[in-house]
Amino acid sequence: MQSYGFVGAGEIAAAIVEGLSTGVTDPPPIVLSPRNHDVAHNLAARFPNVRVCGSNQEVLDAAEAVVVAVRPQVAQEVLAQLAFRPEHVVVSAVAGVGLAQLSEWVSPAGRIVRSIPLPTAARAASRTAMYPDDAVARALFESVGDVVVPGDEPTLNTFSAATSTFAAHLDQLATIASWMAEHGVDPQDADGYVAHVYGELGRTLARHEGTLGELAGKHMTPGGINEQFLAGLRRDGVPDLVRRGLDDVLARVKGQ
């Protein structure tokens, strides 16, 4: 059975480990970095297939498939201290670090995959974008959801930039709830209502087979309040602001 080692034990690593280990009859052996003590030891306490190593190098020594899930700012420093082997399959979840750079940092490892796993991996519901295709990486991410493989690395960068919108989307929902509270709704009720409405909309999204534009059309009627609100946002240039923000993030991801 394939074992997995994780260098870094933040939110994404924890989500993948949880997805690999929860409700699985024969979960894979997993070794964890000691970098985040509380997270790593909590996972090891919950799942018998998980153990915490004494160092990042011990992770590499114990596993051939290594998931690197550290912050971009410290990735070079962390990886420079490690001795990779040619047979290692390195799966990077480090945002904005390209294959060419990773290849230098993890040499002599020859199989390197960039990936964008999502926190929903914890419940085996991540749609992970990865490049290039690789059997080991694909098996890993299909165990915690499904996989999309773009045609080239620049396209993967576009997927990465798109994930920068999560906090903004949640902030918009927080704004709606705050506005409701300002108009007399109990703040707890406002939060609960908005979370319910958009949680159910998410389920609708998951079942919808057409385009997102078609789905938007189904949620408004001519002359209705949804059409009014959307028209106001478009008039004020909100879609263009979103595109410019994404362009700025994409330039950063590409290192421009």
CA distance 119 to 122: 6
From 17-21, 77-81, 206-210, the region with the lowest mean pLDDT: 206-210
What is the pLDDT at residue 102?
A: 96
Whole-number average pLDDT of the chain: 94
Check whether 209 has a pLDDT greater than 90: no
**pTM exceeds 0.75 for this model:** yes
Check whether 126 has a pLDDT greater than 90: yes
Is the backbone of residue 96 left (phi > 0), alpha (psi -120 to 50) or beta?
left
pLDDT band at 206 (very low <50, low <70, confident <90, very high): confident
Where in the chain are the domains?
Answer: 4-149, 164-253
Percentage, residues of the chain above pLDDT 90: 87
**CB-based contact 59:5 (threshold 8 Å):** yes
**CB-based contact 63:37 (threshold 8 Å):** no
Looking at domain 164-253, which of 2.60.40, 3.90.700, 1.10.3730, 1.20.1070 is its CATH number? Answer: 1.10.3730
Check whether 149 has a pLDDT greater than 70: yes
Check whether 256 has a pLDDT greater than 60: no
Check whether 55 has a pLDDT greater than 70: yes
Phi, psi angle pair for 91, to nearest 5° = -110, 110
Output the CATH code of domain 4-149: 3.40.50.720
CA distance 165 to 171: 10
What is the pLDDT at residue 2?
A: 87
**CB-based contact 49:27 (threshold 8 Å):** yes
Mean pLDDT (whole number) for 144-160: 96
What is the pLDDT at residue 24?
A: 87
CA distance 178 to 176: 5
Check whether 16 has a pLDDT greater than 90: yes
Q: What tens digit of pLDDT does each residue of 159-181 get?
A: 999 999 999 999 999 999 999 99
